[in-house]
Structure 1
């Protein structure tokens, strides 16, 4: 595989930033790179909300790239959350060959998960979606002292689940999850 020049690297990051699918398609056939901050092309696409480019790349790249951190420990999902790109967050989390909901729990160097980044950005729609996708049954089982969710008869799928989420500043938000809806309480 040829090694990209600095000019090649600059061009692909600009193509991802501006959503130039043709340029990305041509480039991805030749190179896989990171910028000086450890960002991958998925970071650029996710941070700038280019769903068409993301959908093209996902089947072509290694699924491990979805959870690849940059130098600050942030994944592409962190960038999608920070920049309020719901469709991108959904594509990353729901990609069949990827890490799935485990992406939501990855913390960056500042100790923030993508959910925390969404909250810090004031992106309520994204924070709600991420909470709804989290594996809450596992959290309830741990709270009840049961390790194996399948063996736990105490979990009723129709029961409301109270979740407390602590943001980076130590503020605790309480949410009640009922079916596919969530309500926030201070």
Structure 2
């Protein structure tokens, strides 16, 4: 299609994503080329994913993800926040899980992106006091780098009890250290998977 959305159409789409109006979003996609979705921004550089994820609209996210380039999941606004930052600030666990687990997206690398305040999505979850989300993020993070230096320091091999909880220390942008316990899955051969969301 050669028809391009007007600025007013783009603003309307951003509002539809903000308020979760799936029918209006579907109408936009039918009328215009779905590729135009990736380029739409508001005055602060927020994408349609920022609006959708920040407001917890899972049905809209499920509709949009197959239509968008995977790189849009890591797109930062003017404050360098990603859609995952916004989902963490507003404590939307199904959204957080969908973004990180999107099979064609950046995956756990999204958790390491820092905004202009120097905070990762995990840091935002901690500041918001959202323990459930922070624990989930820590549970899926790649913690190999943290364990590598400990292996070199210890002369003897450490035996890990599968029933034992893992203690993780996380430093935020202000230098504050938070300690979090993560329970291991009962059966290490079948790791815990988050419940599937509708």
Deviating runs (4+, > 6 A) in structure 1?
none
- For residues 170-181 of structure 1, the aligned pairs below 5 Å read 170-180=175-185
What's the CA shift for 1:67? 0.5
In 2 relative to 1, CA 9–155 (structure 1 residues): closer, same or farther, beyond 3 Å? farther
Distance, in Å, in 1 between the alignment partners of 2:159 and 2:58 is: 37
Question: Are the aligned partners of 2:166 and 2:184 in contact in 1 as well (CA < 8 Å)?
Answer: no
TM-score by length of 2: 0.80
1:149 matched residue in structure 2 = none
Q: Give the C-alpha shift of residue 69 in structure 1.
A: 0.6
The secondary structure found in structure 2 opposite 1:162 is strand
Q: Which structure: larger Rg?
A: 2
CA RMSD in angstroms, aligned pairs only: 2.2
Confirm or deny: 8 A CA contact 1:69 1:75 kept in the other structure.
yes
Residue 169 (structure 1) aligned with residue 174 (structure 2)? yes
TM-score by length of 1: 0.85
Q: Deviations over 1:19-64 (max 9, x none)?
A: 1111112223523211111111000000000000000110111000
8 Å Cα contact 2:91/2:125 also seen in 1: yes
Note if contact 2:135-2:180 (Cα within 8 Å) is conserved in structure 1. no
Give, in whole Å, the separation in 2 of the partners of 1:34 and 1:122.
Answer: 29
Determine helix, strand or coil for the equivalent of 1:26: helix
Aligned length: 175
Residue 127 of structure 2 corresponds to residue 126 of structure 1: no
Q: Which residue of 1 aligns with 2:5?
A: 4
Cα distance in 1 between the residues matched to 2:151 and 2:166: 12
Give the Cα separation in 2 of the matches to 1:78 and 1:140. Answer: 26
| Structure 1 match to 2:29 | 28
Q: Would the aligned equivalents of 1:73 and 1:109 in 2 still touch at CA under 8 Å? A: yes
Matched residue, 1:150: none
Deviates more, 1:37-46 or 1:130-139: 130-139
Q: Evaluate the alpha carbon distance shift between residue 64 and residue 75 of structure 1 in structure 2; reply closer, same or farther with a 3 A threshold.
A: same
Q: CA deviation at 1:180?
A: 4.1
**Secondary structure of 1:59 counterpart:** helix
Q: Which runs of 5+ in 1 are unaligned?
A: 147-152, 182-186
Ranges in structure 2 where 5+ consecutive residues have no aligned partner: 187-198
Residue 194 of structure 2: aligned partner:
none
Secondary structure of the residue aligned to 2:67 is coil
Change (3 A) 1:173 1:64: same
1:83-102 counterparts in 2 under 5 A?
Answer: 83-102=90-109
What is the match of residue 19 of structure 1? 20
